[in-house]
Amino acid sequence: MALQTVTPRFGANYVPSAGWFYSWLDYDGAAVRRDFADLAGIGLDHVRVFPVWPWIQPNRSIIRERAIADLLDTVDAAAEHGLSVAVDLIQGHLSSFDFLPSWVLTWHKTSLFEDSTVRDGLTAYVDAVARAVATKPNVFAITLGNEVNNLWPDSATTPQASTAWAQDLLTTLKKAAPDVLALHSVFDDAWYKPDHPFHPVDAVDLGDLTTVHSWVFNGVSRVDGPLGPATLTHADYLVELARATALDPGRPVWLQEIGVPGPDIPVDLQAEFTRRTLETVLPNPALYGVTWWSSHDIDRRLLDFPDREYDLGLFTVDHQRKPAAQALADVIANGAPEQATATTLTAPANLRTQPARRAEVAPGSEFHLQWVEARGNGPVRIVLP
């Protein structure tokens, strides 16, 4: 399976323009195809799609074939527009909402990561959906779920349990879909929070490549503002941390989520943030691809989302191209900038063996600020001690 690409891949995390992910409950293939036409029109090559776990497996004994058929039609719709597909399985967490089936809640309340009965149900779900989507030639990757570490602390776990959970389900996934990338996805608390029970070593050892999610509302934008060097280089910094932590120096890193959240990135600066951030990270030789969050805005008639979630789309709900979309299209058309000679900087802690020292590389830390300053003079490879 070829992982490396000469030019990084570009895609979007698919948020349906009509009805958000509630649209799975009333599936409209024509609406999906209209959305994918938007994305193909700016030069993207893939989409990441999100079936919702409890709507496919509402009871531990039930896998809804109709829901899987709708997912397969979405994959077909992508193929019709020249798009390959990555499928995430355990949603789990989406746009700041959590979706869990009733058989792990109420009087069944238990840990997703530690309970063997839940593991049995998840194994059946992962196997069924992975086998189905693997029949489609344009499916290139399957991720266990979207930022599954967001489901802690409501589901108790330990580092040992979270590692075993991911290992077991990745084994199931790989058996069901041996010819696609099998991936494990976490958000950046796994990289920056000393007590987080999902560790950096899992992100870089488990699965066929590493995924990172770069969000500047994690504290980076407070360092120097929307167009400051710390903000504009955060994606590259996170790719570098991942590259340095992997045992395999050639293991690719997929920038699986990045976007322009307000108020951290004001509307009038979103195009420039997009362009400059991408121009910084694209020459990184570890980079596998960039997948923007998200394809389309959320309709503001839908209630109770955090305000920043509504306007993250490349397109509005009525299919209008937004400034970030135009900037992304321009970057794609121009090609990746040439790589420059890199310097090196040694991290203060070894993230493989000293996860309790993760705060020493977090945004705003002494090391992070040293790296940002050095990055102003060209690429900086991170080396672990």
Q: Which domains does the chain have, with CATH numbers?
A: 9-339 (3.20.20.80)
With tokens 């399985």, the residue in question is: 89
- Alpha-carbon 270 to chain mean position: 20
Residues in the chain: 385
What does the pLDDT look like over 139-154, one tens digit per residue? 999 999 999 999 998 9
Q: What is the mean pLDDT of residues 235-251?
A: 97
What does the pLDDT look like over 168-215, one tens digit per residue? 999 999 999 999 999 999 999 999 999 999 999 999 999 999 999 999
Q: What is the mean pLDDT of residues 102-126?
A: 96
Q: How does the average pLDDT of the chain come out, rounded?
A: 96
Residues with Cβ within 8 Å of residue 161, at least 6 apart in sequence:
111, 113, 114, 197
Q: Is 54 exposed, middle or buried (0-12, 13-18, 19+ CB in 10 A)?
A: middle
CA-CA distance, 130 to 139, in Å (whole number)?
A: 10
pTM summary value = 0.97
pLDDT of residue 7: 80
Is 5 a residue whose pLDDT tops 90? no
Q: What is the mean pLDDT of residues 274-301?
A: 97
What does the pLDDT look like over 296-348, one tens digit per residue? 999 999 999 999 999 999 999 999 999 999 999 999 999 878 888 999 999 99
pLDDT of residue 336: 79
What does the pLDDT look like over 55-82, one tens digit per residue? 999 999 999 999 999 999 999 999 999 9
What does the pLDDT look like over 10-50, one tens digit per residue? 999 999 999 999 999 999 999 999 999 999 999 999 999 99
Alpha helices in the chain (DSSP H): 29-40, 53-56, 65-80, 116-133, 159-176, 189-192, 200-205, 220-224, 229-232, 234-245, 270-281, 323-334, 366-375
pLDDT of residue 339: 84
Burial 172-203 (b: 16+ CB within 10 A, else e): bbbebbeebbbbbbbbbbbbbeeebbbbbbbb
Is 261 a residue whose pLDDT tops 90? yes
CA-CA distance, 60 to 75, in Å (whole number)?
A: 25
- Helix axis angle for 65-80 and 29-40, nearest 10°, is 30
Is 95 a residue whose pLDDT tops 60? yes
User: How would residue 3 be classed by pLDDT, with cut points 50, 70 and 90?
Assistant: very low
Give the residue among 93, 189, 186, 75 at the shortest CA–CA distance from 135.
75
What percent of the chain stands above pLDDT 90?
96
pLDDT of residue 6: 57
Q: What is the DSSP letter of 299?
A: P
Q: Is 135 exposed, middle or buried (0-12, 13-18, 19+ CB in 10 A)?
A: exposed
CA-CA distance, 153 to 371, in Å (whole number)?
A: 31
- For the record, the structure tokens of 307 come out as 């305000």
Give the residue among 293, 317, 292, 295 at the shortest CA–CA distance from 17.
317
CA-CA distance, 210 to 200, in Å (whole number)?
A: 10
pLDDT of residue 1: 40
